[in-house]
Amino acid sequence: MAVGMNKILVIGIGLFVSCLLLRCEEVDGKEYIVGDEKRWSPDANLTQWTEDKKFKAGDVLVFEYKDPLLMVAAVRDKYLFDKCDLYAGVIKLYTSGNDHAVLEKGTIYFAPYPSPYCENGMKLTVHVE
Ligand SMILES: *[C@@H]1O[C@H](CO)[C@@H](O)[C@H](O)[C@H]1NC(C)=O
C-alpha cells in the first residue's frame, strides 16, 4: 500500500516537472533553424531567410554546421561587422556546430568565424524586438 502511494507520488511529480519544462519552453520563445534546409552555410540566402520573420527577445537561433570554419561570431558593432573585423567585434563565439543563440533586444549581427565567408557575404543581421 505504502509502496503504491510512493509510485503515484513519483509519477505525479514527474508529470508536474515535465509540464513545468514545457511551459518554460513556450515562455522562452520560438526556435528558428538558421537557413532552414540549407542550415548555416554559404549556400543559404540569409537576407531572404530573415525577410518574413519577426524576432523577439527570448527567441532562439539554431546554427547547425559541420565545418569548423563556420563557427559563429555574434557581433553588436555594425562598423566592425560591415568590415568583417570579427576578431575585434565578437561578443560571443559559438563553436559546437549545433549552437543555440538566445536573442536579446536590439540588432545583433552574426557571421562565420574565422573563415573568409564573411567577406564573401555570408552574414546575418537580426533585429530583435
Ligand atoms: C537573396 O534574396 C534576396 C531577397 O529575396 C535577393 O534580392 C538576392 O538576390 C538573393 N541573393 C542571392 C545571392 O541569391
Each residue's pLDDT tens digit, 86-105? 999 999 999 999 999 999 99
Q: For residue range 43-81, what is the model confidence (pLDDT) as tens digits?
A: 999 999 999 999 999 999 999 999 999 999 999 999 999
Residue 6 confidence (pLDDT): 72
Torsion of CA 3, 4, 6, 10, to 10 degrees: 140
| Sequence spans of domains, the chain | 29-128
- Cα 49 to ligand 1 centroid, rounded to whole Å: 10
Residue 27 confidence (pLDDT): 62
- pTM, to two decimals: 0.79
Instruction: Decide: 120 in ligand 1 pocket, CB within 6 A.
Output: no
Q: What is the number of the ligand 1 atom nearest to the C-alpha of 45?
A: 1
Please tell me the distance from the alpha carbon of residue 43 to that of residue 36, in angstroms, as a whole number.
Answer: 11
Question: What residue owns the CA closest to ligand 1's atom 11?
Answer: 45
- Please determine, for residue 26, whether its predicted confidence score (pLDDT) is greater than 60: no
Record: fold of 29-128:
Immunoglobulin-like (2.60.40)
